[in-house]
């Protein structure tokens, strides 16, 4: 049900350095989600590398929890789907699996279209407040900025 094209609308992080620079480690723009026959999830994304936009993909491995996947992206990480209605929005967080003194969490609000929905943005903000670490919205792409073109 999550298959198809998505747009990154907002990004939040527990640590500003995860997202502040264009080439920051977790500043990725999700383009498409492709479930596999094995119930894994292929994530097509774009990111900035050497001032160019590059497309890549990550294979997220299923776990016993259908809302949680693991990926090997700059070390093993866990991706959790926090909330989705499948047709308009999806919220997910990516975190390092081992809690460190500086817990590193990045969350994104994905939308099916680039149409701004303030209610969903408020909902995303509300979901962030329920997390065990303090999150700050660092990139609000609903202002029309943030889509990376090849």
20-32 pLDDT, tens digit each: 777 777 788 899 9
Contact status, residue 141 vs residue 19, Cβ threshold 8 Å? no
**147 domain-assigned:** no
Mean pLDDT on 75-98:
86
Say what percent of the chain tops pLDDT 70.
Answer: 87
Query: From CA 15, how far away is CA 134, in angstroms rounded?
Result: 9
Query: From CA 37, how far away is CA 32, in angstroms rounded?
Result: 16
Number of domains in the chain: 1
Residue 110 host element (H or E): strand 105-111
Mean pLDDT on 123-136:
90
SS3 123: helix
**100 domain-assigned:** yes
What CATH number did the domain enclosing 62 receive? Answer: 2.40.128.20
In terms of residue numbers, what domain contains 126?
Answer: 4-141
**146 domain-assigned:** no
């Amino acid at each position: 049900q999550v298959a198809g094209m998505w747009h990154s609308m907002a990004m939040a992080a527990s640590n500003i350095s995860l997202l502040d620079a264009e080439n920051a480690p977790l500043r990725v723009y999700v383009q498409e989600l492709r479930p596999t026959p094995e119930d894994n999830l292929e994530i097509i994304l774009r990111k900035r590398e050497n001032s160019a936009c590059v497309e890549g993909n990550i294979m997220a491995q299923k776990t016993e929890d259908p809302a949680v996947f693991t990926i090997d992206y700059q070390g093993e990480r866990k991706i959790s789907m926090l909330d989705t209605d499948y047709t308009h929005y999806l919220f997910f967080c990516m975190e390092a699996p081992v809690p460190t003194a500086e817990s590193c969490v990045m969350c994104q609000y994905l939308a099916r279209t680039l149409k701004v929905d303030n209610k969903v943005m408020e909902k995303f903000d509300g979901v962030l407040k329920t997390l065990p670490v303090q999150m700050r919205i660092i990139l609000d792409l609903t202002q029309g900025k943030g889509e990376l073109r090849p």
